[in-house]
A = this chain, B = another copy of it.
Amino acid sequence: MSTAKYLTGDSTAINEFLDKFDVFLFDCDGVLWSGDTVFEGVPETLNLLRTKGKKVVFVTNNSTKSRQDYVKKLAGLGISADTDDVFGSAYSSAIYISRILELPPNKRKVFVLGEAGIETELRSENVPFIGGTDPSLRRDMTPEDYQALADGSALDPEVGVVLVGLDFHINYLKLATAFQYIRRGAIFYATNIDSTLPNARSFFPGAGSIVAPLALMTGQQPTSFGKPSSAMMAAIKGKFELDRARTCMVGDRLNTDIQFGIDGGLGGTLAVLTGVNKKEDWEVEGAKVVPGYYVDRLSDLRSAT
């Protein structure tokens, strides 16, 4: 069994660790901040890495925000970033659909279950879409809706993809509509499948909770473009031309962040203990996912010399 090397308080080990990597991929929630509160010393730690010539990339599964929204959030917490430094599951999905997926010319529209972040990213890649935040879908079903969904007259024949992310305005009409598209052959994609979303020191329904009804009804599991999917890693690698061996994933969740780094063949993974998982979670007999390194908190890296 592999073991995780503990770096907190060990300047020599931290120096050796930092020397191994040129690029650091950061999960955000639980690593940099919790909700709207940035962890102490995080902006300074990111500055230190940049001073040492490291590339810093923010990798998030939250598809309700676009890259621009994240740049604003980072700035508000004292962390400077460009849009190109941010990689979200909405963007990852949009890139895949526009650049890799080959759809027939008459099936290029995406039906979106989700929020504005997905719409912004699809728009930035010139992918046509319907649904999403369209206010005409935020209402109860009528008897006419049942008929028009069943006979297909309420459906857009050009929809070839259903893309599902976290939708704070989920309702029966949207679920029924997405289901009809998938059962008529639309490809079923998810921005990510996290069951919950942390907020206010608790947990709330995540994108996986919007995916779950459709997976049950259709008997299909969607391809997901969030961590730990290989599609997300392929999209990041395509964009940044990463040397995987010189790249390290930093995160708080074993089953998304650390798994993502390991499955993606990165040179290293660094776990922080400020989020979901604790060291007891990988220090058990038969632990499936073990990080390469860990620190109590990200700012412990500041003892580098």
- Segment at the B interface, from A24-32, A143-151, A238-246: A143-151
Taking the complex as formed, is A169 at the interface, i.e. its CB lies under 8 A from any CB of chain B?
yes
Taking the complex as formed, is A189 at the interface, i.e. its CB lies under 8 A from any CB of chain B?
no
In the complex, what's the smallest C-beta–C-beta distance from A177 to chain B, in angstroms?
10
Would you call A150 and B202 a contact (CB within 8 A)?
Answer: yes
In the complex, what's the smallest C-beta–C-beta distance from A277 to chain B, in angstroms?
16
In the complex, what's the smallest C-beta–C-beta distance from A73 to chain B, in angstroms?
15
- Segment at the B interface, from A77-85, A211-219, A278-286: A211-219
Would you call A150 and B201 a contact (CB within 8 A)?
Answer: yes
Would you call B140 and A168 a contact (CB within 8 A)?
Answer: yes
Q: Which residue of B lies closest to A170 (CB)?
A: B172
Q: Which residue numbers of A lie inside 8 Å of B, CB to CB?
A: 140-141, 146-147, 149-151, 167-172, 175-176, 179-180, 183, 195-196, 199-206, 208-210, 212-213, 215-217
Number of this chain's copies in the complex: 2
Q: Find the residue from A169, A172, A183 having the highest chain B CB count within 10 A.
A: A172
Would you call A170 and B168 a contact (CB within 8 A)?
Answer: no
Would you call B215 and A213 a contact (CB within 8 A)?
Answer: no
Would you call B147 and A200 a contact (CB within 8 A)?
Answer: yes
Q: Which residues of B contact A195 (CB under 8 A)?
A: 216-217
**Could you write out 8 A-B pairs with CB less than 8 Å apart?**
A140-B169, A170-B170, A172-B204, A180-B202, A183-B203, A195-B217, A203-B217, A205-B217
Would you call A202 and B149 a contact (CB within 8 A)?
Answer: yes
Would you call A205 and B213 a contact (CB within 8 A)?
Answer: yes
Determine the distance from Cα of A200 to Cα of B141 in the docked complex, in whole angstroms: 13
In the complex, what's the smallest C-beta–C-beta distance from A222 to chain B, in angstroms?
13
Would you call B199 and A217 a contact (CB within 8 A)?
Answer: no
Determine the distance from Cα of A205 to Cα of B215 in the docked complex, in whole angstroms: 11
Would you call B170 and A169 a contact (CB within 8 A)?
Answer: no
Determine the distance from Cα of A170 to Cα of B150 in the docked complex, in whole angstroms: 20
Would you call B205 and A179 a contact (CB within 8 A)?
Answer: yes
Determine the distance from Cα of A170 to Cα of B141 in the docked complex, in whole angstroms: 11
Would you call B217 and A175 a contact (CB within 8 A)?
Answer: no
Determine the distance from Cα of A200 to Cα of B143 in the docked complex, in whole angstroms: 9
Q: Which residues of B contact A200 (CB under 8 A)?
A: 146-147, 149-151
Q: Which residues of B contact A146 (CB under 8 A)?
A: 199-200, 202, 204
Q: Which residues of B contact A210 (CB under 8 A)?
A: 213
Q: Which residues of B contact A199 (CB under 8 A)?
A: 146, 150
Q: Which residues of B contact A150 (CB under 8 A)?
A: 199-202
Q: Which residues of B contact A215 (CB under 8 A)?
A: 212
Determine the distance from Cα of A183 to Cα of B183 in the docked complex, in whole angstroms: 33
Q: Which residue of B lies closest to A141 (CB)?
A: B168
Q: Which residues of B contact A170 (CB under 8 A)?
A: 170-172, 175
Q: Which residue of B lies closest to A176 (CB)?
A: B204
Q: Which residues of B contact A212 (CB under 8 A)?
A: 212-213, 215-216
In the complex, what's the smallest C-beta–C-beta distance from A54 to chain B, in angstroms?
35
Determine the distance from Cα of A180 to Cα of B204 in the docked complex, in whole angstroms: 8
